[in-house]
Amino acid sequence: MATASVTIGVFDSGVGGLSVLRHIRNTLPTARLLYVADSAHVPYGDKSPHYIEQRSVKLTRFMVEQGADAIVIACNTATAAAAATLRQQFTLPIIGMEPAVKPAVAATRSGVVGVLATIGTLESARFAALLERYAGNVKIVTQGCPGLVEQVEAGDLHGIYTRELIERYSAPLLEKGADTLILGCTHYPFLARLIREVAGDNVTLVDTGAAVARHLQHRLLTELPANSSGGDSSASFFTSGEPEQASHIMSLLWGHPVEAIKLPSAYA
């Protein structure tokens, strides 16, 4: 199919998935994009898998009704909790996220890889399977990061408290010899500059946004019919939270003015 004629639905617990949406826009510049920030329920990291699964089904159903031809779960925690269920309930391509263990293992020189992620991601069976499959002889050290998602949601990417959190969470990984850090949450790429300042230039930061966009492109080329809907290059933004606040933060992170639309009550 021609990927110009496609509508991509992307959702996250909040605004972090915009880091993935940026890669999708770069890879598929003429696609129609739908983005849903589930900000009334952020963060997902402290929610139960069942709760996240229910939210994911609702958001996916909304985007399908808006004409989505494929769905990207731009959240590691939601992927772990809901990807299998979404693939059972919906026939369109469902693209998930996972911490970039394989490329990080390939990149490390010290043999130690650190993972910054939400508690929900680190405790998931999906993450355990990734480690078993790809870690090999590399030592993987993990660190849950409560509070970082909230800092990004507030648009505080460079503040004192945000730096303090990053220093607190990265220190144990660096002390154990990690020279490669996996950004295991889609919110964290927006903190990459600050993480690099704290960790140093010799530490490699790895996230999966670009790889997800390439995988999405491959799935579209091989699976969707040529008459898929969309193709108007627009981007529409929705939130389950407060639209004015969401518009402000999304504009900051997206790099262009954004007007967030409130989700209908049945989905919010």
d(C-alpha 195, C-alpha 181), whole Å: 9
Residue 116 lies in a domain: yes
Q: What percent of the chain is predicted at pLDDT more than 90?
A: 88
Q: φ, ψ for residue 43 (rounded to 5)?
A: -85, 155
Residue 2 lies in a domain: no
Tens of pLDDT, residues 242-253:
999 999 999 999
Mean pLDDT, rounded, for 173-183: 98
CATH number, domain containing residue 200: 3.40.50.1860
Set 34, 185, 206, 224: catalytic member: 185
pTM for the predicted model, two decimal places: 0.92
In the annotation, is 145 catalytic?
no
CB-neighbour burial class of residue 137 (10 A; exposed 0-12, middle 13-18, buried 19+): exposed
DSSP state of 258: -
Which range of residues forms the domain containing residue 199?
101-206
Note whether 199 and 106 are same-domain residues: yes
pLDDT for residue 1: 44
Task: For residue 11, list its beta bridge partners.
Answer: 36, 73
Mean pLDDT, rounded, for 229-234: 66
In the annotation, is 185 catalytic?
yes
Note whether 13 and 144 are same-domain residues: no
CB atoms within 10 A of CB 152: 26
Set 75, 116, 117, 260: catalytic member: 75
CB 263 within 8 A of CB 240: yes
**151 band by pLDDT with thresholds 50, 70 and 90:** very high
SS3 category, 180:
strand
Name the least confident of 132-136, 150-154, 228-232, 234-238: 228-232
CB atoms within 10 A of CB 184: 29
Domain termination site, one of 181, 206, 231:
206
Note whether 112 and 162 are same-domain residues: yes
Residue 87 lies in a domain: yes
- Looking at residue 79, its amino acid is T
Residue 268 lies in a domain: no
Domain termination site, one of 186, 206, 226:
206
Note whether 112 and 182 are same-domain residues: yes
CA–chain centroid gap for 27, Å, is 16
